[in-house]
Amino acid sequence: HVGFQLSYIGNHAYNQFTFDPINYTVPRDSCATSGTTDIAQCTAGKAIFRRPYQVFGTSGGGNGELYGYHGYSNTNELQAQVQHTFGSGLLLQTYFTWARTLTTSEQPLLGIGSGQTLIPAALTPGFNLTEPLTSGASLAQRVRAVYAPDPTLPTKTFSLNAHYELPFGQGKKYLGNAHGFTNALVSGFNISPFFLWHSGFYFSPYYTQFSSSTVGGGRAINLSPGKTGILPEGQRTRKRWFDASRWDPTATSGPSSGPYAGQTYTLGTGLEGDFRNNIPSNYMTGPGFNELDATVYKLTPLGKGTMLDIEAQGFNVYNHQNLALPNNKGIITRPLGGSLPRLIQLQAKFIF
């Protein structure tokens, strides 16, 4: 009456789609050696003079001018399943999965730190405007820079299914001698609950493949030395999911400059804002998810080959609110998309 299964699944995917924005703005200190048509304009930060192909005046971080298939992913997954059938008509099934998926190609997910992945192109040391495809870091190095946990897949998942036929009616433990109308009234009751829990999705506050010109007044956000911003699980709340001290206002040239007073993030200079920040992709996890659904139904035979099925279906039975990812201030402002309050619906089916 007991079944146990343990499985390992490994997966490697390659030739995944990548966006390589080769016409993204380049570092200002490359202006003098890159053959730009107007060094003064480039040094001043005017975007069109900091791009290899100036005709694309609107090109930016959201534009993938060069598409490729250089991405890859790796998954290691452990699955455990236990099933037990009781003589009383009760069946229990449990599933547990531990999975770790690292990828260079994210898929969209509601929340911060997610969406399409752009591999760092122009913003690498040694990049030259006149040789946008061959200068700077190698393609392999740039793709590796965005290799991180998949934000759409939680690490741990647990589910429990159960089915129980209540022991009432003819041939059952209670009212086993019932016949006719009495048996039709008390027999055929079943309950099927389903419980699902999984750990939180991955995300990163302030993360970008290219330091945003809108963050910190055009300057890069960097992690302070030895800090991650991750709070212990017991300290994470809806109003403070991670340490949201954004930067050291006294910093002048990067994360190691100026007096350090425990802040999680530092604010770099305008020049450093041209380079990719040092915040890793998807290194934090958000709130987990849990929900209990259940169905109670009664099957009543009405005659040869016909049956009445009356059901009460309950979703989010204990009315738990699952939370979305926090914003860049560490505050969770909304429930998880698609998460509903308790819902009960009734239905009847005539089966023939």
Instruction: Give the best-scoring range by mean pLDDT among 167-176, 279-288, 310-319.
Output: 310-319
Secondary structure (H, E, C), 217-257: CCCCEEECCCCCCECCHHHCECCECECCCCCCCCCCCCCCC
Contacts 24+ apart (CB under 8 A), 47-54: 50/25, 50/26, 50/129, 51/23, 51/24, 51/25, 51/26, 51/122, 51/129, 52/22, 52/23, 52/26, 52/122, 52/129, 52/130, 52/132, 53/22, 53/23, 53/132
Contact yes or no for 33/125 (Cβ under 8 A)? no
Instruction: Give the best-scoring range by mean pLDDT among 26-35, 131-140, 335-344.
Output: 335-344
For the chain, state the CA radius of gyration: 29
Is 33 a residue whose pLDDT tops 60?
A: yes
SS3 181: helix
Q: What is the DSSP letter of 279?
A: P
**Residues 282, 280: Cα–Cα separation, whole Å:** 6
Q: What is the pLDDT of residue 345?
A: 96
The pLDDT tens digits for 162-181 are: 999 999 988 888 888 888 88
Q: What is the pLDDT of residue 212?
A: 46
- Tell me the average pLDDT across 229-248: 86
How far apart, in Å, are the Cα atoms of 305 and each of 298, 301, 340? 16, 8, 38
Token pair belonging to 76:
């290691």
**DSSP assignments along 21-39, one per residue:** -TTSPPPGGGGGGTT-S-H
- Tell me the average pLDDT across 47-62: 71
Contact yes or no for 266/254 (Cβ under 8 A)? yes
How far apart, in Å, are the Cα atoms of 91 and each of 72, 82, 98, 259? 41, 11, 24, 62
Kindly indicate the confidence band of residue 190, based on its pLDDT and cuts at 50, 70 and 90: very high
- Bridge partners of 117, per DSSP, are none
**Residues 157, 288: Cα–Cα separation, whole Å:** 10
Higher pLDDT, residue 96 or 330? 96
> What value does the mean pLDDT of the chain take?
81
Is 252 a residue whose pLDDT tops 80?
A: no
Q: What is the pLDDT of residue 87?
A: 79
